[in-house]
Amino acid sequence: MPFHDMLNHGVMSVSIGVPMAAMPYRPSAEPGAGTHCAGCAARHIGLCDALVDIDLPELAAAAQWRTIRSGALLMTEGDPARYFFNINHGTAKVYRDLPDGRRQITGFVTAGYFVGLGMPANYSASVEALEDVRLCRFDRLTLRALFVTFPSLERKLLIATGNELLIAQAQMLLLGRKSALERLASFLLAWIEPASPAGTRLPMGRSDIADYLGLTIETVSRNFTILRQRRLIAISTEQEITIVNCAGLTGIAIGAAA
Amino acid sequence: MPFHDMLNHGVMSVSIGVPMAAMPYRPSAEPGAGTHCAGCAARHIGLCDALVDIDLPELAAAAQWRTIRSGALLMTEGDPARYFFNINHGTAKVYRDLPDGRRQITGFVTAGYFVGLGMPANYSASVEALEDVRLCRFDRLTLRALFVTFPSLERKLLIATGNELLIAQAQMLLLGRKSALERLASFLLAWIEPASPAGTRLPMGRSDIADYLGLTIETVSRNFTILRQRRLIAISTEQEITIVNCAGLTGIAIGAAA
DNA sequence: CGGAATCTTGACGTTAGTCAATTTCTGTGG
DNA sequence: CCACAGAAATTGACTAACGTCAAGATTCCG
């Protein structure tokens, strides 16, 4: 169960995958086999999950499909917060920067996550795609109007925002009180399928992991080596990781081991 | 504008100020002058702010007034999350502990704040009163039922939860990337009225500040001294602080000064 | 196969933590 | 009002963990 966080979403300078720039979504114009939200791969993990199939067209009319290329920005901190996003596929990083360049990644967002929760007038963070990202973009005013018709949308967002807050709390404990080794162990447990023998490919590099854990890239690398040498994890090809000793890794992550 | 955070709220072992243990709130039985929610000091900063006066009685019927003595727990991490709280007066700390005793305070809650946002079945943090705290306690199931009648309550909570998330993001940046001096400067700016020449009394001690900023009590103390020696703040009587040079303090807080 | 980017490893420096007094504050009672 | 005791805060000397700087090794892709 991967992590996440985020906050805003935004006016963006991104490449557009589906050629329907400012055009409202139309079922008949949809790409892929499903051709409408009910057939979307993210149908039951995204915002639409709050609605029954019969009500989907109204939500779909407010949604715009986009594909964000790897490395492109979904939103930039400080920009007017016009849009709200629902990720359907791919991974992006949410981060804040200090004036001198120090960066803190506050979360990674994957399929099903909302970007733009609890936003004020301007985005409070930047979001960059780590791989190609498919998403639904909503105009915030349009979406707010839909809340009146479908209170279940608002409930879904309230639950999602609450979950974000829980994850943020856990991350504050990690950043404020855990050692480098404990941070890395916690991170891997959240991202790697514990059972998978084949190994899981991490979508982010060492630099992003460092910015997420409040460490430097060198410290992350050193602690990867420590975990590997202690036979707690196995590293096949760089970011292809396998958890070898889940109990041992968990012990380190929760701070049980001295 | 003080900070905050929080998450759960809970089954609690607390002293009860207003003698109406499990009895539903009744206007005629209310303490103080206002004698009902419309006269409450927190009328326009709490949950009730989402309702017009005419609808208040319905919300009031679901609320129970409580006073939590300084040092008592509002909730304990892991306990079943039966209640939701709305602080009316006083300050409390929200924290998580690691098994070996390391503690991270994820936020301080004051008048107007909600405790128990986005909660799962069990409280995910403990909350302890730093001074006597007055609050309204709601049964979570009862409150959820009210959401159907008054969608504005849910909207209020969504906005509040979103604000929490923004604050949590800022705190992650602080914990992950700021120096001890920058952390303390950021904290003081959030808690001390910049203009007040008389000085503001902090409700928390050095130990709580340390647990909030991810530092030790000694490091907090040393950096208080540094800020005082640089004439950025003045310390009258221990936790009675005045901001002397707001611009200078802000410069440190945002990481502008090298 | 080659070059750039990413990752790893090593030597050394800096910041904050640890351990230990000492000082200051708070509150209580004489 | 002052004296005292306990708690909280400050200060100092030293240590440990992580950051910085600098090579090298690997991986990735054309």
Q: How far is A169 from chain B (nearest CA, A)?
A: 6
Domain boundaries, given as residue ranges, for chain B: 27-173, 178-253
Question: A60 vs B219, which has greater pLDDT?
Answer: B219
- Residues B75-98: what's their mean pLDDT? 95
The per-residue pLDDT for A137 is 94
Give, in Å, how far the C1' of D29 lies from the CA of A201: 19
Say whether A168 and B163 touch across the interface (CB within 8 A).
no
pLDDT (mean) for B236-242? 83
- Find the Å distance, CA of residue B101 to C1' of nucleotide D13: 26
Interface A-B: count of C-beta contacts within 8 A: 142
pLDDT at A66 over 70: yes
pLDDT reported for residue A195: 74
Across A188-214, average pLDDT: 91
Q: Which of A25-39, A45-59, B191-205 holds the top average pLDDT?
A: B191-205
Q: Is the pLDDT of residue B1 over 50?
A: no
Domain B178-253 has CATH 1.10.4190.10: no
Q: What is the average pLDDT across B155-171?
A: 94
Q: What is the pLDDT of residue A36?
A: 57
pLDDT over 90 at B57, yes or no: no
What single DSSP character describes residue A132?
-
Look at A214 and B178 and tell me if their CB atoms are within 8 Å: no
In the structure, what pLDDT confidence band is assigned to residue A17 with cuts at 50, 70 and 90? Answer: very low
pLDDT of B151 reads 87
In chain B, % of residues over pLDDT 90: 61
Q: Could you list the beta-strand ranges (E) of A113-243.
A: 114-115, 126-129, 133-139, 200-201, 233-235, 240-243
* Single-letter residue type at B149: T
Q: What is the DSSP letter of B122?
A: B
Between CA A161 and CA A5 the distance in angstroms is: 9
User: What is d(CA A5, CA A167) in angstroms, rounded to the nearest whole number?
Assistant: 7
Residue A225 predicted with pLDDT over 90: yes
Protein CB footprint (7 Å) on chain D nucleotides? 8-13, 17-22, 27-28
Per-residue tokens: A125: 């963070």
Pairing of strands A233-235, A103-109: unpaired
Is the Cβ–Cβ distance between A213 and A205 less than 8 Å?
A: no
Average pLDDT in the A135-147 region? 91
The DSSP letter of residue A100 is T
Higher pLDDT pick, A251 / A54: A251
Q: Mean pLDDT highest for which of A41-55, A206-220, B31-45, B154-168?
A: A206-220
Q: Which residues pair with A242 in a beta bridge?
A: A234
Say what percent of chain A tops pLDDT 70.
84
- Higher-pLDDT residue of B195, B96: B96
Question: Mean of the per-residue pLDDT values for chain A?
Answer: 83
Nearest CB partner across the interface for A169, out of B106, B254, B255: B106
Residue A208, CA: closest nucleotide via C1'?
Answer: C6
Segment A220-246 shows an average pLDDT of: 93
Helix axes B151-177, B140-149, angle to 10 degrees: 120
Tokens of B217: 């009590």
**CB of A109 within 8 A of CB of A117?**
no
* Average confidence score pLDDT of chain B: 83
Q: How many residues does chain B have?
A: 258
What's the pLDDT score for residue A22? 31
Give the per-residue pLDDT at B257.
57
Pair of tokens at residue B149: 């009648």
Across-strand partners of A115?
A85
Least confident of A29-38, A59-68, A127-136, B157-166: A29-38
Q: Please give the Cα distance from B205 to B220 (Å, whole number).
A: 10
Q: Is the CB of A76 under 7 A from strand C?
A: no
* Banded pLDDT at B86 (limits 50, 70, 90): very high
Report, as an integer, the average pLDDT of B31-52.
67
What is the architecture of the domain spanning A27-173?
Sandwich (2.60)
Report pLDDT for A150.
Answer: 86
Distance, CA of B119 to chain centre: 16
Q: In the predicted model, is pLDDT for residue A196 greater than 80?
A: no
Which amino acid, one-letter code, is at B12?
A: M
Residue B14 pLDDT level (bands cut at 50, 70, 90): very low
> What average pLDDT does range A8-27 have in this prediction?
31
**Identical fold between B27-173 and B178-253:** no
Contact A35, A71 (CB under 8 A): no
Summarised one tens digit per residue, pLDDT across range B216-229 is 999 999 999 999 99
- Counting Cβ atoms within 10 Å, is residue A258 exposed (0-12), middle (13-18) or buried (19+)? exposed
Q: A110 versus B257: which is more confidently predicted?
A: A110
% of chain A exceeding 90 in pLDDT: 61
- pLDDT band for position A18 (cuts 50, 70, 90): very low
Predicted pLDDT at B258: 52
How would you classify the pairing of strands B126-129 and B133-139?
unpaired
Phi-psi region of A109 (alpha: psi -120 to 50; beta: other; left: phi over 0): beta
User: Does the pLDDT of residue A161 top 60, yes or no?
Assistant: yes
Q: Is the CB of B238 under 7 A from strand C?
A: yes
Lowest-confidence region among A254-258, B150-154, B225-229: A254-258
Nucleotide nearest to B214 (CA to C1'): C16
- What pLDDT, on a 0 to 100 scale, did the predictor assign at position A38? 67
- Partner residue opposite B118 with nearest CB, options A119, A151, A163: A163
Q: How confident is the model at residue B13 (pLDDT cuts 50, 70, 90)?
A: very low
- pLDDT of residue B199 exceeding 70, the answer is yes
Residue B110: strand, helix, or coil: coil
* Chain A: closest CA distance from residue B31 (Å): 33
The answer to whether the Cβ–Cβ distance between B166 and A120 falls below 8 Å is yes
Q: Which of B177, B215, B217, B252 to mutate to test the interface with A (most CBs of A within 10 A)?
A: B177
pLDDT value at A45 more than 90: no
Tokens of B69: 């003595």
